[in-house]
Structure 1
């Protein structure tokens, strides 16, 4: 399953345009996300390494979900709401749980507004999608179909049934 671009471009465009339409939400398009294990805060050394790699945002979710969504042929995109500067930033105060929770709470209302707007724009008919998400598994099954056990076909029919007939 291809994963060069982990987020659905169609859904990402909808999220971006909806955020811009709100007018009062600060939006950044693009960037490179590093997914770390958490919940935890980075050490200063880790933070400096991520910056040296060109990372724009550090998070603890999104990537595992994006991989699972792609393998389930679901459109998936991310609205990343910043809660703090990582500890590399010399002029900002150190990250605290209180800071993160406070900023997160402030971000929730904007995220909800964006999602309400996007939900009204997602086409009900997935065949209208211009993305490749609905067919991500089309070349993923390498086993000769006749060699796939009936139990496996049944077990995974929800995900790959359309490719087994």
Structure 2
């Protein structure tokens, strides 16, 4: 087990000379997916970040030749509810370890008849209904605006979908595209809420991906979601209302296949090393003059801004 303070982590990372040839893949495991057994040569790193401690130790290993950093967003024993996930610390920690692509296998409820429980969706849009989440690294004297028109990386999502379609069992389906409704949680929706989201054309409902995707974009990390349906939320009265028991049973089935899809996608990413628009998201997004940004703020965001502002050092 290795422990690192955030300043040491920053010294080991050189964003200004970064190459995708050396980049790592991050995997944010959701409900039911707390590890990936096929990762080899695993070592655990406990990081302190400017935003606190991540959800758990970061497990670094290999899927084939691809270096992977796995993090259980709820903790490996599922002790952190969606609102309380340290989103900023998680994304900062992954970027500090050289992650430039993130796969997010996550449990969701289906909002459409054609997306059946145990189907999987590769969403391409969000609607945000959360209200207690940190949505940016850029505050406390600095402002940045990044584009979120296409919040999931289209290139990474395509690779994920192609690999998923090769693996998913007969009778289950991969749905390419769709809108992910992000709710605060931790309770499931009321029937009225569920019907409202359906009327908006939403495909699935979950509690975590939106916050991660926004912060990942600011961190210049490509992000894609493998949204694994466990239930029909509560709108479909031809099916029983969502229960914890139902969710857990389907979580286990989804996690088994989800791990295989992530492993296959990792091998493909290692071959392609795909460049994403997300990898330069801050290039035209930084609005504040660097010379007036407070030192404490500048130090916290240096890992993201150094390619454009140069490495920060206190005068």
1:31 to 136, 155, 178: 178
Report matched runs for 1:1-165 at 5 Å.
1-22=146-167, 24=169, 26-123=173-270, 129=275, 131-165=276-310
CA contact (8 A) 1:153 1:164 kept: no
Give the gaps of 5 or more residues in structure 2.
1-145, 311-315
Quick one: distance in 1 between partners of 2:168 and 2:234?
A: 30
CA contact (8 A) 1:35 1:58 kept: yes
* Change beyond 3 A, Cα 1:150–1:96: closer
Quick one: distance in 2 between partners of 1:90 and 1:96?
A: 14
Q: Which protein has greater RCO, CA pairs closer than 8 Å, 6+ apart?
A: 1
> Going by fraction, where is helix more abundant, 1 or 2?
1
> Going by fraction, where is strand more abundant, 1 or 2?
2
- Post-superposition Cα deviations, 1:5-58, rounded to whole Å, max 9, x if no partner, equal 111111101100101122525211111110001121111111111111111111
TM-score (norm 1): 0.91
CA contact (8 A) 2:168 2:257 kept: no
> Secondary structure, in 3 states, of the residue corresponding to 1:3?
coil
Give the gaps of 5 or more residues in structure 1.
none
Give the count of matched residue pairs. Answer: 163
CA contact (8 A) 1:153 1:161 kept: no
CA contact (8 A) 2:168 2:174 kept: no
Quick one: distance in 1 between partners of 2:213 and 2:201?
A: 21
* Deviation (angstroms), 1:65: 0.5
What is the RMSD of the two structures over their aligned residues, measured on CA atoms?
1.8
> Secondary structure, in 3 states, of the residue corresponding to 2:254?
helix
TM-score (norm 2): 0.49
* Deviation (angstroms), 1:156: 1.9
